[in-house]
Structure formats: C-alpha cells, structure tokens
Structure 1
Amino acid sequence: MRSMQVAALALLALTLTEGKILLKRDGLPPAGPPQTRAKAPEFGWFKQRLDHFDTTDNRTWSMRFMNQSQFFELGGPIFVFLGGEWEISSGYLQTGQMFDMAAEHHGYMFYTEHRYYGKSFPFNNVSSDSLKYLTTDQALADVAYFITHMKRTMRGMANSKVVVVGGSYSATMAQWMRLKYPHLITAALASSAPAKAVEDFKEYFEVVSDNIKLNSVECWDTIKNGTAAMVDLLETAAGKKKLEGLLNTCTPIRTEEPYRAYLFSSIGGIFAGIVQYAYIGQIKNECNQLLRNSGSPLEKLSSYVRAQYGGDCVGDYDEFLEYYAIDNITEYIHRQWYYQTCTEYGFYQTTSSDDQPFGKTMPLSLNHHTCKDLFGKEFNVDLLRRGINRTNIVYGGYDMEVTKVVSVHGTVDPWHAVGLTKDLNPEAPVFIVNGTSHCADLSSISDYDLPEMYAAKKRSKELIAKWLK
C-alpha cells in the first residue's frame, strides 16, 4: 500500500493520497494567519438528538464546537460560523470578516461542526446505514437547537441577535438557516453558496474553461489538443501502453466506463482545483508551467499532470473505490460528502457542454456508478433525482423567499454558476466580484483587495450592522 500524501493546502479542491488525486472539489480555503489581537478559541461539546424529527427516538450524540468570547459584552450579538464538509479549526475565529464584525459589535463567536465530519460522529462508522441521518434537514436543526440552548443558558445572551456565516456548502446552510429559522436567525452572510441542486453541473467546467482561456488561449488550446490526443491513444493497445507511460499510471489503463471517465477526471480535476481556489495570477502561472514543457500538446499536458502528482503514479477507479469504501472513522475520509451528493444535491461536474477543453471525457455516468458502487445498488439515478427535486422544492433553489441575507460570489469560482446571481429583493442582495475565487470574501478587508472585492466586503459589513440595530 502506498503511503498517504495530502495536498499542500488542507480542504482544497484536490486531495492527493494513495498515489491518486481524489475527486474532491468542495470546502473552504484555509483562513489567513491569526490577527495579532486574536485570542485562542476553546473547544466544547453539545449533546444533539440523532433524529430531530422523530420524538420517539431518544438517541443522542455529541457535536463539537468552538467558542470565542474575547469581544463579548452582555446583550451583544452571537456570530456563528457554520461548519460544512470539513473538520473545524480555529482560523475563522481568529481572523476574517466574522471576526472583524464580532469585534465591532462586541459579539460572541461560535464555530459549529457539521454532523458526520471532523470529530462529530453519531456512530463509530460511516456505513450506508449509519449515514441515513446525514441530511440537510438534520444539520440545520442541529444548529437551531445549539443556538436555542446557548441563548437560554449563557449569561447575557437571552436577547442576543444571531448572525450565521458560511462558505461554500455551509454558505448554503447559512441562507437556509435564515429561510427555515427566521425566528432564531437575524441575518446571514453567505460566501460562494450553491443555491440550486443540479444533477449535471456542466457549467462548472465552462467556468474553468473561460478562466483558463482568459489567461492564455495557448494554454487552453494545449489542454484541448492534449486531451484529444489522449482520447485517440486509447483506441489502440499500443496507444494505451504509450499513455500509461506518459501519465505514469499505477495500473494498466482500462478503457471501459467508469474507468475511462475517472482517468480523465483525475486530469480535469487538477485544472478545476487551480481555478476554483486561484489567487491572483495563479492561473497564468500554472499555464506558463504547462507551456514550458517541451514537445507536442500531448507531451506538454502529460508532463504537467505528472508534475502535479509529485512523482506518485496516477490511480484508477478501483483504488478510488477502495479508499472511499472505508467506513470506519479512524482515517480521514470524504465518503460523507459523496453520500450527500448522491442523496440530496448532485452537483456532478461533467463535460457534457461543448464549451470546455476536455472533450466528452467526463460523462454524468461516472457519478451514477460512484453512488451505487460506494453505497449500494439502491443509490441509483431515481433516488438521486428524487433527492435533488426534494432539495429544490423544500429550500426554493433560485426562488427562495428570504431576507437579511448577503450572498457573495467571485466570477473565477465555478460554483457561482449554481449560486444566486441577482438580488432576490432589496434585503437579499447578491454581490458578484470579478476576478475572485471560491470564498475569497471571507477574509478581512484589506488594502490589497481588488476594488470590487473591497467594496463587496465593506457593503456586507454595513448591511449586517444595519440588520443588527
């Protein structure tokens, strides 16, 4: 067994492990360094019901949270950073927009960990049966019960107003907390929130494509022509053997689905991750690295892919399944997020659009296979589509009726394509920031911000302040 390796930045789009890049394009960028005035937060545990909607089920579990009280004055507001599909850490309680707002308004800060992530597990495994309580409804109820308890039991909080803040999936949760629990939640700040569940998220790679082309047409052409050459090589045994050497695959390439699609997802996912979390100038820098390689587009692209793996071989679909089939909680796994996509959200990033450079190499069927192979044959297309339909009916998709919510997106972030792109109403504005990536607005206001980003952050803080009066 190859030794585990983790990508340089935790919780970014791609995780390199077991000699393969796992298809993980979600989560928050890491918070910046703590501000000099920031004190270390504390950890705590809160007992939650396993099933908030079945009063005959008395089972409970312990949810982890963090709290930071350094700015709090009695009666001040409560700020809750919502955990998503990751393990909580201290960063966003020591710097960033929420930290700054808590300082300004003398607020108390919490960071709640999402059920089934980090150390907040209802069961000692994440088998398909155990994961049935991993739903949006239950996760939102966890936050509602947590907030209610804290307001009742902590000194000076009985009449405190509550602001929830989230990024990526937890930004969607922030929007939906205000939607479903308006009597508890005063306002919400949602950074890079997907608003509508979709099965075929073809727009994702369209945005990746647009941003690559915007930085370098030659780079885009090289990716397109290199990918097309790889597709051609798979037509013959000799070509397949050549491609195995060019990419340094761990095992002989299998050309049937879903093996073929997984191979190309391992390539396309590299560029998806770069674009989604790009800092200013990064896409151009990466394109320059690709173009500096010698040879044909095929050779340039292959050399670039090998470099991204850092000397490890490129794994296949069987290795992916082996890793994500692990159902104990002693290892870091991301099986839980796949479960959520298979039962409620979809968000499957395909190449069914013609407006991207990867051909038709990543079909929707890859994800259909993944759901059944990871969780069981009952996790089929019908279940997926029923779950997506329910999510959009219950939470409203692009037509959610909500107020006192600020939503911010960056045009570089592919997730903005399924987010809110226009104001819902005067009290639910949407700020689209040109040239910025996933969750970039969660950081503190800085003189280094692009003018549009500076303005969006400033306006977000002003609106939250107005709604707290």
Structure 2
Amino acid sequence: MKSFAFFVLLIAIHLVNSQHFLKSLKHGPPKQTVFKKGSKAAVWDTISQRVDHFNPVDLREWEMRYIYNDQFYKPGGPLFIFLGGEWEIDEGYIRTGQMFDMANEHNGYMFYTEHRYYGRSQPVEDFTTENLKYLSLDQATADVAYFIQHQKSHIEGAENSKVVVVGGSYSATMATWIRKKYPHLVDAALASSAPLLAQADFIGYFQVVADNFRLSSDECMDTVTEGIRMLEGSLDSVDGLENMSSMFGTCDPIDVTEPERSYFFSSLANPFAYNTQYAQPGDIDEACKLILSTSGSAVEKLAGYIRYYYGGYCISDFQYFVDYYKDTAMNYYDSYRQWSYQTCTEYGFFQTGNQTTRPFGDFWLQMYIDTCQELFGTGEEILNTGIERTNLFYGALEPEVTRVVSVHGTVDPWHALGVLEDINEDAPVIVVEGTSHCADLSSISENDLPQLREAKLRVQQYIRQWIS
C-alpha cells in the first residue's frame, strides 16, 4: 500500500488553491531519490544556446541548464546523456539507474540536460503564445546537437567519444528522433516508454487502464462501470446533480454542458490512469481493495475512491482550469502550460474516453481542442497540421532508425503509441510483461520481476555491442 499512498501524496502536492486541475497524463520517468552508495555528487552548469537555431540573423541566446558527473570517465570513454523532458531536472539519474551503471562499465561521462522552457532553462521572459513559438521538437533536438558538439570539444579525450542518449517518456521520443536526425553525433539510444505516433484522439490509453484494472479484479472493474452508469443516470435531474456534486466533492455544482461534462468525467478517470501508468506490483490490487471495501452502492464506492485519491480537495471545473492556465507569467514549478502548447501544436496525445472505454464515462477530444483554443488561440486545424508534420518528418511507428533499443511495459498505457512496426536487430523493441512507465531505467534490483531484470540486461548488451 506504500507506493499507492505515495501516489496520493504526489497528486496532493500539485493541487492549487484547494482545487484539483485536470493534468495531461504525460509525465516523465519516476524520480530516483535513493542514490548508489559511493556515487559522486553531481555538478550543475549551463551552456549558451540560440533562442532560434534556424534563423541565422537571430543572435539572441539563453542559458540551458545541465548536470554532469565525471566520476567514471577516462579519456576516450563514451558520453552518456540523459535527456530532460517536460520537467525540471535533478541529479537522480546520474547518481543511480541504468545509465549510471552503463557509464560505470564503460568509463563514461554522464550528463542530464534540461529541456528548453522547463525548470530553469528559460529562453523567454514569459509564456505568451508568441514567446512559446520557440518551444518545438526541432529546436529542442538542435539544443542537444549543439550540446554534444560543445562537450566533445571541451572534455579532454572526448573528441572521438561515442555518444549514447537516454530518455524516458517524451524524452525517449526525443532520444529516438535525435538518433534519426543526427546520426553523425549520436551513436546509440535507449528509449524507455517512448510514444512515437503523434495522434489527436488517443482512445487506446484508457482502454489499457481498464484492461489492467479488470486483470486485477473483474468485480472491481464491474463496480467502477456500474458506478459510472449510476452517476450518469443521476445527472438528468436537479436533485441528482446536487447529490452527485456533493458525493464526488466538486468545487461547484456539476455542469452537464460541454466541455464541462467531459472535464468532470476525465477528472474521475485520471486517478485510475495515474495508478496504472506508474504502477508497482500490487498497486492496482490495492486500489481495487480500497474500492470494494468502501460501503454503499457502486456509485458510493466510486466516489469514495475519488475523494480518497484527491485527499479532500475539491474538483474544479473546466472554466476555472483554463482561466488559471491563461496566466502567461513564468512558472518554474508547473509546466502544464508549456506541455499543453506542445501537444496542441505537434503531438496531440489527448487521452479520451468514449464507447470503447465506457468504464470511465465519456470525455471527448473536443474538450482538448477547446483547451488549445482557450489557452493559445489554436484550434483543430493547427493541431492536425502539427500532427501530420510530426509523423511525416519523424516517421511515426516506422522511423527507420538503427542502434535504438526501445523498451515498453505492458501495464503502461503509453506503449500503444510506441511499439515500432519494424522490429529488427538494429532497432530492437523489448516489451516487458507486467511493468509500467519507464520501469527499466532504474538499476537492476532484487525487487525486479524476472522479465524486467532480463530486459535491463538485454539493454546493457545492446549498448555494449553498439559502442564497443
């Protein structure tokens, strides 16, 4: 129950003004907080980058943060670069984890780069839509290209060093595409839980969530399904609306007009998604035990789980949510506005619920399109154009890459957008039964499932082969 309780605490920490906001279910790898014994303290540094790499007359620069650890490095050893994504970096992945262990084996130099517009790596003064135009995959991968060039020219003996990039979640997508786009700079890549297919309506996400809860307990999933059915039936009357608003703890009475209705149901689905995406063995079983042990009808059991998960905070409505994120002031601790811009202009990745994922109710793509319009003035046409461009330029599920090892867990809903169609020895794909988002990025542990341990060993073997 410990890891499930940690999840509840994690969500509570991110609540604002006593209201829960719908967050994009796209998060990086789990933080590493327990370092390897004897690991060297990391060093923080910065490198100057162009605001716009593709406009030679724009000479503006900004300072990109990164962390390094050279405790294993010997001249000529490889450079291992853990790519930051839509989060603030910390020293965890260069003091423990799979990359740390490989750097130890190969006398490598370790880096962790911070993605532009996240953490303290800010090329602009605020997050107006005009300023966000430099937040793109093309610009971010160019940052890494210049970073590699700089480090090779400044580290003793690194001129001819091999380069291995490592990423988790979105940054694993970057790792795959950097290897494709800059093969003369990057020799190999480890991509953990990388979504590669840009897609607006990601209906498969919650289907995986439902399947994993049903795998744990048919009774549990049947209770959730019945609870949603009872909830929907109650929203047709004034008394029912009042009762359900109180039962589920909304900040204001439930609004059944769109996009408010979709926002409400997506807020109910999110706890199930978080608990699946980062599930440790037994987490989903514990969630089901909590649901089934609550007294009352199916809808009361469902509401009890939702209230417990949000820790007593009320659930906001869509309008409150968009009004909050219309604020364009710099915010180092909440990256939702920046990540929303990326999804609205390049990826989609919008997790929806419809008839095929009925257990969690209906919440539609239009809600996310409305969010894009409200926050940035971009709509469906820009979204679809951006998705088409991303898939065309980077290859979607057929990127034609070599020396990239991709790892996916079957419990992780994101694997539906990441398993490559061309599986070959030059770009192997490892699918690990029973594991979740980015589970393979940690060091080998006695707590690993046998199949996860085997996957980590295979990753090490591929990297060993490619950089030897």
1:346 equivalent in structure 2: 348
Q: After the TM superposition, which of the residue ranges 119-128 and 14-23 deviates more from structure 2? A: 14-23
Alignment of 1:287-306 (within 5 A): 287-306=288-307
Aligned pair in 2 of structure 1 residues 87, 13: CA closer, same or farther (>3 Å)?
Answer: farther
Shift of 1:393: 0.2
- Aligned partners of 1:14 and 1:24 also within 8 Å: no
Shift of 1:91: 0.5
Which amino acid in structure 1 is aligned with residue 97 of structure 2? Answer: G
- 1:131-178 per-residue CA deviation (whole Å, 9 max, x = no partner) reads 000000000000000000110122111111000000000000000010
Shift of 1:353: 4.6
2:278 equivalent in structure 1: 277
CA distance in 2, matches of 1:24, 1:15: 13
2:269 equivalent in structure 1: 268
SS state of the match for residue 199, structure 1?
A: strand
- Aligned partners of 2:398 and 2:420 also within 8 Å: no
Which amino acid in structure 2 is aligned with residue 323 of structure 1? Answer: Y
Which amino acid in structure 1 is aligned with residue 319 of structure 2? Answer: D
- Aligned partners of 1:178 and 1:187 also within 8 Å: yes
Which amino acid in structure 1 is aligned with residue 36 of structure 2? Answer: Q
- 1:50-106 per-residue CA deviation (whole Å, 9 max, x = no partner) reads 111111111111100001010000110000000000000010011000000000000
CA distance in 1, matches of 2:313, 2:146: 46
1:392 equivalent in structure 2: 391
Tell me the TM-score normalised to structure 2 length: 0.96
CA distance in 1, matches of 2:231, 2:282: 28
Alignment of 1:350-369 (within 5 A): 350-359=352-361, 361-369=362-370
- Aligned partners of 1:421 and 1:432 also within 8 Å: no
- Aligned partners of 2:8 and 2:309 also within 8 Å: no
- Aligned partners of 2:120 and 2:332 also within 8 Å: no
CA distance in 1, matches of 2:64, 2:273: 32
Identity of aligned residues (%): 51
2:25 equivalent in structure 1: 25
2:315 equivalent in structure 1: 314
Tell me the TM-score normalised to structure 1 length: 0.95
Shift of 1:126: 1.0
Alignment of 1:189-208 (within 5 A): 189-208=190-209
Q: After the TM superposition, which of the residue ranges 447-456 and 186-195 deviates more from structure 2? A: 447-456
CA distance in 1, matches of 2:217, 2:167: 33
CA distance in 1, matches of 2:352, 2:50: 37
User: Are 1:446 and 2:445 matched, yes or no?
Assistant: yes
Shift of 1:425: 2.3
Please, what is the CA RMSD of the aligned residues? 1.6
SS state of the match for residue 65, structure 1?
A: strand
SS state of the match for residue 114, structure 1?
A: coil
SS state of the match for residue 54, structure 1?
A: coil
CA distance in 1, matches of 2:372, 2:160: 45
Shift of 1:424: 3.2
Shift of 1:46: 0.5
Alignment of 1:31-42 (within 5 A): 31-42=32-43
1:3 equivalent in structure 2: none
2:3 equivalent in structure 1: none
Alignment of 1:210-229 (within 5 A): 210-229=211-230
SS state of the match for residue 359, structure 2?
A: coil
CA distance in 2, matches of 1:325, 1:264: 22
User: Which runs of no fewer than 5 residues in structure 2 stay unpaired?
Assistant: 1-5
- Aligned partners of 1:51 and 1:133 also within 8 Å: yes
Q: After the TM superposition, which of the residue ranges 306-315 and 367-376 deviates more from structure 2? A: 306-315
Which amino acid in structure 1 is aligned with residue 211 of structure 2? Answer: D
CA distance in 1, matches of 2:369, 2:424: 37
- Aligned partners of 1:72 and 1:106 also within 8 Å: yes
Which amino acid in structure 1 is aligned with residue 341 of structure 2? Answer: Y
- Aligned partners of 1:14 and 1:22 also within 8 Å: no
Aligned pair in 2 of structure 1 residues 37, 71: CA closer, same or farther (>3 Å)?
Answer: same
CA distance in 2, matches of 1:331, 1:73: 36
